[in-house]
Structure 1
Amino acid sequence: MEENLEREVDIREYWHVIKKRRWTIYTVVIILVITVTIGSFITKPTYKATATLQIERENPRVLSFEEIFAIDASQQDFYQTQYKLMQSRSLARRVIKKLNLTSHPEFSSASKVGILGRIRNIFRRDKGEQAEELADPYTNIINTFLKNLEVEPIRNSRLAEISFISHNPRLSADLINAVAEGFIEVNLEAKYYASREAYDFLSKQIEELKKEIAVKEEEMQLYAGQKGIIALEGDENIIISKLADLNAEYTRAQMERIAKESYYNQMKNASPDSIPEVLRNPVIQDLKREYARLEREYAQKSKSFKADWPEMVRLKSEFDNTKQRLDKEVNDIVTKVSKSAESEYEAALARERALKEMLDKQKNEAIELHRNSILYTTLKTEVENKRKLLDSLMKRGGEAGVSAELRDFGTSNIRIVDRAETPQTAYRPRKKMNIMLSIIVGLMLGTGLAFFFEYLDSSLKNKEDVERYLNLPTIAIIPSLDGLKTSKAYRYGYNSYYGDENSEKLPQSIEKIAQTNPMSSISESYRSMRTSLLLSSPESPPQIVLITSSQPSEGKTVTAVNLAITLTHLDKRVLLLEADLRKSKLATIFNINKDPGLTNFLTQDIEAVTIIKRTDIPNLFVTPSGQLPPNPSELLSSSKFDTLLEACRGSFDHIVVDSPPLLAFTDAQLLATKVDRVILVVKGAETPRESVMLGKEKLNDAKIAGVVLNDLDIIEHHHYYRHYYYYGKKYQDKTKQAGNRTL
């Protein structure tokens, strides 16, 4: 399965993609530049005239009083409204009629609806709208007019630029000036009509309000006569004042009655000695002192004399008389005080009751007056409010009347700062800018398309792709012979022997290039593969090597041949075994008979030595496939084939097995279990990686030495290889005489 790994950003890789797909970018740029250039030169030029307006905010004065209407003071809404009014259809119609644009060539064609326009209208509008458009000859002209009208506010200012685009420079200036003047006229007319409508409205409201006031005053007077109300405010003040006085007096009477009642109850239950009047009476005080003196004297003499002693009798009689007089005096005072407290209490109670009756009467009178005054006050307030409103309306009505009469002397809050002048240069098309933009857009579009094509390319193009998607090492990258033939610079860089003077010596085929051109860069790549293969096993070099691929025509047979040749250069006996029993090629490459071959050995009773054939290359032996059998898989999985491999192990140092493709047949999958190492050949920048990954999955149990990227155009994909140079033609001749070997 494909691993989801993030690719490290490499600017050089992006540059390589751009160089690789440069013709896609060139094509897009050229097509776009030519198209834009032709369009810019054949397009009829248009001219843009611009005028500048100053728009001051002005609240309407007619109905600005807050008690009637609330005015929206949002500045942003005001200016946005003005900009939309400049682009209104009514203003456009006004200007069109003023300048008689219906007869102008630039607009007369807009009033005619063609066949395509009629068809679009059928699907775009209902019948009512179609009829209205046909009935109004200005509809299409207004649409064209507004399409070419632009309004652009200037930031952080009260200025706005209005522009018109036309094929006629003089017409564009006249039109935009007419729009500016018409907008000011519309603004003034709106103010006039607003003032006139306000004046008429206010006049009507004033008359109605006068009638309402008269009715309410008559109703208020009638009600006052029925209820006997003369001066409501004075009556209300007297009654309220009397009510307050009575309430205060009643409160004081209550307090006084409570005090008298408390004092009266206290006198009834109090002892004589606690009554203040008794304590303050001088006679009682004298009698108490006399009583106390006699009591002391009697007590003192009673110690010396008996009770019947005349002096004691006299003292006793005087003592009793004093006691009687004291009791009588105390009783008289207590009786007098009690009667006085009772009379005062009764008087306070009677006063409280009288005030309570007066207070209740006054309350009823106040309630009745208040009940009668509610409607009267309501009528009076309503009349006063209507009078105030009438005064305001009459004042505003006068102002509105004056404003309406001053129509010809009105001033607008909009003025023209700069009138439009006839443009001297065309606004569109901007040929230089269009061409420059077409180049930039073409480069961007072409680059994007190039990367898109690169994204769709799922082939393996370098060793990083092999490691990323297959998790296998790349043991060799075999350059494309066609790529070397198309570039002298690369040809010379990879092998100085292939200079300009010897360019005819480039091989026409790479089937045995390791033998025919051992010092070429392609041969060096095969030797690199040989070295990587021999070092792939830490114990000992692999003896039997299987060469396979995921799809046909990826160069596995050529790879097997050249690998076998490079192994012979190490003075090793090498057997090239053609196990591809479905397509025989080795017999043709080495110009030998294919019979008897591997098929003959596996199906007949012959010796193995009869199918091993010597070639013109020293130490290289080939076993061709022989006749193509109907059951190759059964033959390759037979024990006789295993016996052949074991026999060859003892006779040869290395055995290179050429097998069928992995995805087409199961032969290679069977052979992979019988060999020491497997080399997977991939045609660079062509074979889809999905096919290679699927082929790798079929080799799960095999020991894969690595991947060979075959037939890769190194000029296009910018891979860097080891340069292998000759040191002169003399050295080349000596190496040829030595059998074209490299040690």
Structure 2
Amino acid sequence: MQQDKHNTSHNRGNHPQRLEAKPQDTLDLREFWKTLVRHKRMILVMSGATLALALLFTLGSKNVYRATATLQIERESTKVMNFDFLELSGDIRDTRDFYQTQFELIRSRALAAQVIKDLKLDDKLSSTSPLTSVKQWLGIASKPTEPSALENAFLENLSVEPVKTSRLVLVHYDSSNPEQAAQIANAVVATFQKMNTERRINTTDDAKTYLEASVKESKAKLDESVQRLNTYSKDNGIIISNGTIETTTSQTLNNLETQRLAVETQIAEKEHIYSTLSDKSKPMADRIGVLGSDAPFLQTSLKKLNGLEADNAKNTNAVLRKQIRQLLNEIGSAIDARKQSLPSEIEALKNKKMGIHDNVAKAKSDAIREQDRFIAYGTLRRQVEINQELYQDLFKRLNQVSIAGGIAANNIAIIDDAQVPLKKFKPNLLTNLSFGALLGMLLGISAAFLREFMDDTVKNANELERISQLAILGVVPEVLNNTPSQLAQLTIKEPKSSVAEAFRSLRTAMRFVLRNDNSVVFVTSACAGEGKSTTATNLACAYANAGSRVLLIDADLRNPSLHRTLDVHATTGLADYLQGNIDTSELVQATAFSNLSLIPAGKLPEDPSELLSSPSMKALLATARTEYDHILIDGPPVLGLADALVLASLADTTLIAVRAENTRMAAVTNALKRLRQANASLSGLLLNRVALHRGGSYGYDYSNYYYNDDKQTEAGAAKKGVVTTLRSLKLL
């Protein structure tokens, strides 16, 4: 069992302290349901009131008729000629944005003003909104006369509804006059179609006017740019040949580059010939062959040599060999002569190359100086090309717009005209009643939770234990239709009742708290009216019924009640004893119950706290310990009085009665704070008058448990069930 952490030497045993439970943050649906059950009457009342208001509103509202016309809105109009550049729908690329734009155009003020003007509706419009109906019901509504007010009234009755997965749009108009509803709905779609066509034609005309001005301006710019290009070409000697820009400098540079390549080729060829002629290890044919057609004598001599060598191979003789040697000498001399002339030729070619290089450098320098003129010419030429392209494009578009202006088709088509409605659209009795019932339930539930949030009375046993840091030793169910005297004697007179069982459970719990007899238990509460006297009396009866000698002391010297609840007639009591007017033989009174004695309060004194703290009170309790097994003190509430603190300091333990759904949590906390400051020993809490059938988190349930009485008849059981049901429905 739990003991208060502030207990001092008054404690009669070592008991473990209860650890403080942390509040749960999880969603508890059972707590929600119990909250609704506790406030079900308020929820039902608010639901019924809202339902009645919905019924009165429905019956008092005038009938509203809805006429509907059907439109087909295409993303783009049907094109007789495919002019993609002329997008009359604007720059709306998303289909949803396009259709939302069309819906807003239908509900635009311009369209509303046009329809009002065409149908002359200045004094025929009225709003059908619920707010206007309420104002008319209260007699404070007035007809709109200003143009903006007329447009607002018109637009309040106009609604647009797209048909899903199609390009159809339903245009609704609500009115108390069915003929007027159909007339206005048809006028809206016709005006919208007409305005759309006019807008497209105006767009074409505007585009044509703009393009004509643009073409004229572009033509002037083109002529001006061509004139500037021609003048610049003449002034700078620029020639256009086959579409290529040329000058004398560029032509000279190209010729020099050709000459340079030719000289480099000749130098490479002559160096190769010189290298081959110098290599005597190569065959004579290869050395002569490298000369090519430049040495016809050597080619002829080589053929003659080959013939002599062939003849000598067939028939050798001295004459042939002499001729061969003589021919070889002649060929060698010719080759050497040719080889000796090559270095000078190569040197001459290199000198020529240097001259060409110098000329190329000079030409490049001249070309660099001409580059700025080329850049300026290129800029002027590109400007001419751009202006020419712009002029051609604008001229082409102008011709297309001129054709499109007369053949543009409308993308709006009227599919169905609005018919005169035969049935009213609203008010709908079933819908309004359903909405009223739902709204009433929501308001009732909201009010229930608001009241639950604002109400800090004790409703949850776990929360009470967490805040008080004390154990709940028992829960006493609420008993209806009983007098205070009957409630105080239920433990003995109705031993099979749930109240008697609750106090027997409390008696058992107190046995574990005290763990010894002859203990003094002080029963109190935070405030008056929480059932502390009933608790003290029933607990005393429970002890007495178990065979223990019990003394019940009425120490509430300000508002005593035990002598009335136990039917004891006494003119003197505790106050008289403490004042020394009587002795103990006249103090204790017998009751109608065995083993239970009572000390009544006696005559009310002027200063009860002074008497209760006197040595006589301590002596009385010491004497009672020797004669009784249990001494119970019924005292005043803790808050506002010092008597309870005095009695708590004299008792071995203090039991605090808390009335469920009545005692505020702050009162319990303040009472415990005062008792702890007085170093009182606290045994625990008793939850009193718990209405289990209303819902709550108390951790106990006696409502479904009954003793099996063999004498109870089936009729009696049925009667008890009916009574329980009626009480749960608040009918008893």
TM (norm. structure 2) is 0.71
- Picking from 444, 447, 453, the partner of 2:442 is 444
Contact 1:53–1:160, Cα closer than 8 Å, also in 2:
yes
The residue type equivalent to 2:702 in the other structure is: Y
After superposition, the Cα gap between the structure-2 partners of 1:186 and 1:371, relative to the gap in structure 1 and judged at 3 Å, is same
- Picking from 411, 414, 425, the partner of 1:427 is 425
Contact 2:660–2:687, Cα closer than 8 Å, also in 1:
yes
Pairing 1:177-326 to 2, within 5 Å after superposition = 177-228=186-237, 231-233=240-242, 236=245, 243-254=253-264, 256-257=266-267
After superposition, the Cα gap between the structure-2 partners of 1:672 and 1:382, relative to the gap in structure 1 and judged at 3 Å, is closer
Comparing 692-701 and 507-516, the one that deviates more: 507-516
User: CA–CA distance in 2 between the matches of 1:229 and 1:88?
Assistant: 64
2:122 alignment partner, SS class = helix
2:112 equivalent to 1:92: yes
Query: Unpaired runs of 5+ in structure 2?
Result: 1-18, 128-143, 289-297, 302-329, 713-732
Contact 1:587–1:624, Cα closer than 8 Å, also in 2:
yes
Q: What root-mean-square deviation, in Å, do the aligned CA atoms of Structure 1 and Structure 2 show?
A: 4.8
User: What is the percent sequence identity of the aligned residues?
Assistant: 28
Contact 1:475–1:706, Cα closer than 8 Å, also in 2:
no
1:151 alignment partner, SS class = strand
Structure 1 residue 181 displacement after superposition: 1.8
Comparing 394-403 and 718-727, the one that deviates more: 718-727
Contact 1:511–1:561, Cα closer than 8 Å, also in 2:
no
Structure 1 residue 93 displacement after superposition: 2.2
Contact 1:479–1:711, Cα closer than 8 Å, also in 2:
yes
1:101 alignment partner, SS class = coil
After superposition, the Cα gap between the structure-2 partners of 1:568 and 1:212, relative to the gap in structure 1 and judged at 3 Å, is closer
Contact 1:524–1:724, Cα closer than 8 Å, also in 2:
no
After superposition, the Cα gap between the structure-2 partners of 1:95 and 1:333, relative to the gap in structure 1 and judged at 3 Å, is same
User: CA–CA distance in 2 between the matches of 1:154 and 1:48?
Assistant: 17
Contact 1:46–1:428, Cα closer than 8 Å, also in 2:
yes
Contact 2:557–2:608, Cα closer than 8 Å, also in 1:
yes
2:64 equivalent to 1:82: no
**Structure with the greater relative contact order (CA < 8 A, sep ≥ 6): 1 or 2?**
2
After superposition, the Cα gap between the structure-2 partners of 1:106 and 1:665, relative to the gap in structure 1 and judged at 3 Å, is closer
Aligned to 1:45: 63
Deviations 1:315-364 (A, max 9, x none): xxxxxxxxxxxxxx9xx999967863453244324433554466467657
Aligned to 1:57: 75
Contact 1:534–1:542, Cα closer than 8 Å, also in 2:
no
Aligned to 1:637: 613
- Picking from 177, 182, 197, the partner of 1:173 is 182
Aligned to 1:314: none
After superposition, the Cα gap between the structure-2 partners of 1:273 and 1:334, relative to the gap in structure 1 and judged at 3 Å, is farther
Number of matched pairs: 628
Aligned to 1:624: 600
The residue type equivalent to 2:105 in the other structure is: L
- Picking from 713, 720, 731, the partner of 2:702 is 720
After superposition, the Cα gap between the structure-2 partners of 1:646 and 1:675, relative to the gap in structure 1 and judged at 3 Å, is same
Pairing 1:559-578 to 2, within 5 Å after superposition = 559-570=535-546, 572-578=548-554
1:672 alignment partner, SS class = helix
- Picking from 528, 551, 554, the partner of 2:527 is 551
After superposition, the Cα gap between the structure-2 partners of 1:519 and 1:102, relative to the gap in structure 1 and judged at 3 Å, is same
1:484 alignment partner, SS class = coil
Aligned to 2:415: 417
Structure 1 residue 24 displacement after superposition: 1.0
Structure 1 residue 254 displacement after superposition: 4.1
Contact 2:125–2:150, Cα closer than 8 Å, also in 1:
no
1:510 alignment partner, SS class = helix
- Picking from 39, 42, 53, the partner of 1:24 is 42
1:178 alignment partner, SS class = helix
After superposition, the Cα gap between the structure-2 partners of 1:260 and 1:602, relative to the gap in structure 1 and judged at 3 Å, is same
User: CA–CA distance in 1 between the matches of 2:710 and 2:420?
Assistant: 79
- Larger CA Rg, structure 1 vs 2: 1
Aligned to 2:352: 351
Contact 1:530–1:567, Cα closer than 8 Å, also in 2:
no
User: CA–CA distance in 2 between the matches of 1:623 and 1:436?
Assistant: 64
Structure 1 residue 647 displacement after superposition: 1.6
User: CA–CA distance in 2 between the matches of 1:373 and 1:214?
Assistant: 21
Pairing 1:662-741 to 2, within 5 Å after superposition = 662-700=638-676, 702=680, 704-713=682-691, 716=694, 720=702, 723=706
2:650 alignment partner, SS class = coil
User: CA–CA distance in 1 between the matches of 2:492 and 2:629?
Assistant: 23
Deviations 1:40-63 (A, max 9, x none): 111122222222222222389898
Comparing 213-222 and 660-669, the one that deviates more: 213-222
Deviations 1:642-694 (A, max 9, x none): 22222222223332222222223333333334334433222333222332343
Structure 1 residue 440 displacement after superposition: 2.4
User: CA–CA distance in 1 between the matches of 2:517 and 2:158?
Assistant: 85
2:69 alignment partner, SS class = strand
Aligned to 2:16: none
Pairing 1:600-615 to 2, within 5 Å after superposition = 600-604=576-580, 607-615=583-591
Contact 2:591–2:598, Cα closer than 8 Å, also in 1:
yes
TM (norm. structure 1) is 0.70
Aligned to 2:476: 477
